[in-house]
Structure 1
Amino acid sequence: MFDVVVVGAGVVGLTCAVRLLEGGARVAVLTADALSRTVSWVAAAVWYPTHTEGDSRVLAWARRTYEELAHQAARGVPGIVMRPTRMLLRGPSRQAPWWAEAVRDFRSVNPADVPEGITGEWRFTVPTVEMDPYLHWLHQRVEDAGGVVLHRRLHRLADVVGVAPVAVNATGLAARGLVSDADVYPARGQLVLVSNPGLFTSVRDEENPGGLTYVHPRSRDVVLGGTFEPGESGTRSEARTGQAILERCRALVPRLKEARVITELVGLRPSRRGGARVEVDPARLPGGALLIHNYGHGGAGVTLSWGCADEVAALLRPCSY
């Protein structure tokens, strides 16, 4: 018998399971897919609250996750590197973003020192995560702490009845059907992976007239993006889109002209109108099981993961295992 069943084994579900295990709960994780088939696997996975509305709760999640990932990077956790980032601005001058206070070294660059065509620049250092080694590390951490990962596809959350008296819904896009949440929707993103010609600094140019543009170096490759297509669920890469991404990124970082194209990837961000849902459901599951939701993080799953895991653990703290 388990105390808690976490449904979903992406980064949100696995971080949740780790925190609950650390608190003494007996935890099972249910997943329909292998790690390599989760939405998290394709993520560019840079700490950055993209397409996320700022409020005190979200800021707390983002700050807590930043702190945890920075600590993990210092400990040498696989896949995590603290990386300098340049955020280019093209519109009117503006104040620091709402999330700036979560970052240790955020600063604005003197407008006289920015490239032509750019009106401003922010610089900061944030965690970047390579999801292949990191998801495997999280999976192993769950098992090392006594948790169990079970492969089972659910057609309704009520199917967890009998597994544990508490269920955590970390199902991402599947929550649309599992809990009939019409606010959940996919936001398609296409990426190009190229060989790394020696880059270390990330560059973001979200206001590029050609479309969302970012360059995120990793240990062996560079993630080039990208697109943000709300409501689109196709997962086949489009050659024209990939070529446009390459051209924008090469114009932004000329050294990328030396880089060899490795592959193109498409992922679906598990977005939700109204933002992430992290709360106790007032309605119990059949049999009286408590249900806690933790889904709808969009492209900020990594950015909010540990903060949301801490909140789920806090929601369960009054319970005795």
Structure 2
Amino acid sequence: MRTPGDSDDVIVVGGGVIGLTTAVVLAEAANGRRVTVWSRDPAAETTSAVAGGLWWPYRVEPVDEAGGWALRALRALSRLAERPRETGVRMAEGVRAGVALEELGSWSAEVPGLRPARAGELPPGVAHGLRARVPLVDMGVHLRYLRRRLEAAGGSVVVRAVDSLETAAEHAPLVVNCTGLGARELVPDPEVYPVQGQLVIVENPGVEEWFVAADGAAAETVYALPQPYGLVLGGTAREGVWETAPDPAVAEAIVARCARIHPALATARVVGHRVGLRPCRSRVRLEAEELPGGRRCVHNYGHGGAGLTVAWGCAREAARLARDATRRGDGG
């Protein structure tokens, strides 16, 4: 009996939202090629599973390219929002505080309905912001959807640690590296570093719209994201911090900041804590290279705080690079 990953055509290393989305795109356009995801951790234990799930370009470079990837993802997620129970994606109204349209990249001009918020649409103490209707994703449901979609296209997922890209290349002529923070050791790429994010989940006292106030350079953020499992409160953005255990003092401060926006949160019952490490880099690495021995590799990592936001756009670009790399490998 064949063991998954022993004789595949494409191995995608990394089972978070970037890896699974990339694998789906590759498998659905594979023309019979077999696509297998090798993931050190089950999807539920990846950084993607911890994410708040709001579509918005955040801590991702380069800005112009990331904006293009984000718009492609916006279109894909908007279609998935037609089936929210199945995909985990829904369109949600909310406010991005403290920013004006002219401060955003050119991508903002193509976001339907994005506009300055009127005074009556802002919480007390918030001077200005933007009003938007964008995808808000239940990441647990979405990751399971991506796996089902991959399997429906003939792909598979194997929980398997990888000690080198060359090891993966022993099992397939094409490797796609979607390892996020793991790329720091696997490639190795010292440019990859963590930006720690801590959040708190509370029982929702009736908050129906999302709210975000997040300076791209600040170590503390404020956001409230209504999800089916509770209200997600954040957060932190601590560069270079590897700790994944929740800090009770930080959690208390997060709730206090959010309670200034929604006072009822001061007494909301806490139902969970999460910590994730965003895989940041000076710029996303999305390129192809030849591995020792002649096998091909496409890198797709370093998406910072915008993995969900750019996943479909980067997956399409990674698939294009994979096609080109395969043609070169065939002598085309």
- TM (normalized to structure 2)? 0.89
Q: Superposition pairs for residues 29-68 of structure 1, below 5 Å?
A: 29-53=37-61, 55-68=63-76
For the residues of structure 1 that align with 2:149 and 2:98, how far apart are their CA atoms? 39
Mark the CA change 1:54 to 1:166 in structure 2 (over 3 Å): closer, same or farther.
Answer: closer
The one-letter amino acid of 1:237's match is P
Mark the CA change 1:107 to 1:198 in structure 2 (over 3 Å): closer, same or farther.
Answer: same
The one-letter amino acid of 2:135's match is P
Query: Larger deviation: 102-111 or 244-253?
Result: 102-111
The one-letter amino acid of 1:17's match is A
Name the SS for the 1:287 alignment partner: coil
The CA deviation at 1:145 is 1.0
1:317 matched to 2:323: yes
Query: Larger deviation: 106-115 or 191-200?
Result: 106-115
Alignment deviations for residues 253-273 of structure 1 (CA, whole Å, 9 cap, x no partner): 12324521101111111111x
Match of 1:149 among 136, 147, 157: 157
Name the SS for the 1:268 alignment partner: strand
Mark the CA change 1:161 to 1:115 in structure 2 (over 3 Å): closer, same or farther.
Answer: closer
The one-letter amino acid of 2:58's match is T
Alignment deviations for residues 86-123 of structure 1 (CA, whole Å, 9 cap, x no partner): 11218xx6725114124211001346875554331210
| Pairwise CA RMSD | 2.2
CA contact (8 A) 1:161 1:286 kept: no
Match of 2:28 among 9, 22, 25: 22
For the residues of structure 1 that align with 2:78 and 2:319, how far apart are their CA atoms? 21
Q: Quick one: percent identity of the two aligned structures?
A: 39
Q: Superposition pairs for residues 120-131 of structure 1, below 5 Å?
A: 120-131=128-139
Name the SS for the 1:70 alignment partner: helix
The CA deviation at 1:45 is 1.6
CA contact (8 A) 2:300 2:314 kept: yes
Match of 1:168 among 167, 171, 176: 176
Name the SS for the 1:212 alignment partner: strand
CA contact (8 A) 2:55 2:134 kept: yes
The one-letter amino acid of 1:97's match is L
CA contact (8 A) 1:200 1:218 kept: no
The one-letter amino acid of 1:189's match is G
For the residues of structure 2 that align with 1:17 and 1:94, how far apart are their CA atoms? 34
CA contact (8 A) 1:5 1:167 kept: yes
Mark the CA change 1:109 to 1:176 in structure 2 (over 3 Å): closer, same or farther.
Answer: same
Q: Match of 1:297?
A: 303
For the residues of structure 2 that align with 1:304 and 1:126, how far apart are their CA atoms? 13
The one-letter amino acid of 2:143's match is L
Name the SS for the 1:313 alignment partner: helix
Alignment deviations for residues 129-178 of structure 1 (CA, whole Å, 9 cap, x no partner): 11111111111111111112122111111111231101000001110111
Name the SS for the 2:54 alignment partner: coil
For the residues of structure 2 that align with 1:113 and 1:225, how far apart are their CA atoms? 21
Runs of 4+ aligned residues of structure 1 deviating over 4 Å after TM superposition are 110-116
In structure 2, the gaps of 5 or more residues are 1-6
Q: Superposition pairs for residues 62-141 of structure 1, below 5 Å?
A: 62-76=70-84, 77-89=86-98, 95-98=102-105, 99-110=107-118, 114=122, 117-141=125-149
Alignment deviations for residues 254-303 of structure 1 (CA, whole Å, 9 cap, x no partner): 2324521101111111111x22111112xx22331101000000110000
Alignment deviations for residues 64-90 of structure 1 (CA, whole Å, 9 cap, x no partner): 001100100013333111111111218
For the residues of structure 2 that align with 1:39 and 1:186, how far apart are their CA atoms? 11
Q: Match of 1:252?
A: 261
Mark the CA change 1:248 to 1:129 in structure 2 (over 3 Å): closer, same or farther.
Answer: same
For the residues of structure 2 that align with 1:252 and 1:134, how far apart are their CA atoms? 28
Match of 1:8 among 11, 14, 31: 14
